[in-house]
Amino acid sequence: MYTQMMDTQGAEKAKAVTTLEEQELMRRFDARIDDGGFIEAKDWMPEHYRKTLVRQISQHAHSEIVGMLPEGNWVTRAPTLKRKAILLAKIQDEGGHGLYLYAAAETLGTSRDQMIDALHAGRAKYSSIFNYPTLSWADVGVIGWLVDGAAIMNQVPLCRCSYAPYARAMIRICREESFHQRQGYDALLVMMRDGTDAQRAMVQDAVNRWWWPSLMMFGPPDGESVHSAQSMRWGIKRISNDDLRQKFIDATAQQAGVLGVTLPDPHLKWNEERGHYDFGPIDWDEFWRVVGGDGPCNRERLAERVKAWEEGEWVREAALAHARKQSMKEAA
Ligand code: FAQ
């Protein structure tokens, strides 16, 4: 439209009109957010809102896909056929979550190939939690209990996210995550109640290693969370990182009691006045180190994903060739 303007005065006028139009669009967008309404893919949205969503949703999608690796490590060594079937189904669910989320991000104009390319090139993040190793079978149970538990705590408010395609994906994801959390807790209960001393020790060891990284899943403290204020203003995030972390600690401390494990925090104590558990300091240096690529398994995880992508090339090519053949058949 601008390129068809013959004189700069006209162009300036057009720009001013566009700016006024934009101001009106912005006003309507803000009003809809303030009313607690939803934004659909085809609705007008400010560029920063779009970018924030692509950043968060793609990071979330990558987390689901990379998150398949630590548990995948135990598929061949699950203790019974039942546990193996449950674990396979859970990992498959995580893959499905990744796909819903890539699809939600695609509605914002970024292709899945672009997002995957950013992950493989190290430009995109995924959750810090998946850079820790799964050393024993108890780790699989603890991932279900703590990691899926933290994921649900964080993700239930996202079902009311202002961007409707993301909110819709989250509703389905949360239903499945709640089954994941329960299967993990159930596997641990069996080990704690019917297991040997060695199995109980294995559960305690896994809890000791996963507790603090699980708390880090909620992101940096509110004061250091660069995106929180804007994301809360836009209704993308509904509850702050610290508030979600506190809710998770309060719920989990009680579950730990039922399970019969000790959470590895000497400062963990019910505070009657606050109506919450107090807890000890989190090692934020470790968090930023892992987020920055230097965790125990960062290199291994990324290398696995790149290898899977390269080795899967023939599958993608075959699927495309099949689709082409089908459409030629239909056309004929
Ligand atoms: N790890 O300003 P904020 C799962 C980054 S799915 C890595 O507070 P924001 C299912 C953050 O991106 C788990 N990076 O950021 C499952 C930003 O960097 P950037 C994933 C982190 O976005 C279970 C910078 O730090 N869930 O577990 C982390 O407002 C079992 C500043 O932070 C989601 O992604 C972290 N932990 O809040 C699968 C939920 N925390 O982007 C398999 C959706 C922060 O500027 C097995 N995401 N950063 O380069 C969210 O709710 C938010 O993105 C937060 C971070 C809360 C994670």
- How confident is the model over 128-177, as pLDDT tens digits? 999 999 999 999 999 999 999 999 999 999 999 999 999 999 999 999 99
What residue's CA is closest to ligand 1, atom 23?
148
Share in percent of the chain as helix, strand, coil (round to 5): 70, 0, 25
Average pLDDT over residues 228-236: 96
CA of 261 to the centre of ligand 1 (A): 27
The enclosing H or E element of 331 equals helix 313-331
Burial 165-180 (b: 16+ CB within 10 A, else e): bbbebbeebbebbeeb
Residue with tokens 């699980």: 214
CA of 185 to the centre of ligand 1 (A): 23
- Write the burial class of residue 318 (CB in 10 Å: 0-12 exposed, 13-18 middle, 19+ buried): exposed
SS3 115: helix
Whether pLDDT at 4 is above 50: no
Q: Which residues have any ligand 1 atom within 6 Å of their CB? A: 55-56, 59-60, 63-64, 67, 94, 125, 127-128, 143, 147-148, 151, 154-155, 216-220, 225-228, 231, 237, 241, 291
Q: Read off φ and ψ for residue 220, nearest 5 degrees.
A: -65, 165
Determine contact, residues 120/309, Cβ cutoff 8 Å.
yes
Task: Give the atom of ligand 1 at the shortest distance from the alpha carbon of 56.
Answer: 53
Point out which residues pair with 39 in neighbouring strands: 163
Task: Give the atom of ligand 1 at the shortest distance from the alpha carbon of 127.
Answer: 1
CA of 227 to the centre of ligand 1 (A): 11
Task: Give the atom of ligand 1 at the shortest distance from the alpha carbon of 219.
Answer: 40
Assigned token pair, 312: 């899967």
Determine contact, residues 303/141, Cβ cutoff 8 Å.
no
The mean pLDDT value of the chain amounts to: 94
Q: What is the pLDDT of residues 69-91, one digit of tens each?
A: 999 999 999 999 999 999 999 99
pTM across the whole model: 0.93
CA of 219 to the centre of ligand 1 (A): 6
Q: What is the DSSP string of 31-59?
A: HHHHTT--B-TTS---HHHHHHHHHHHHH
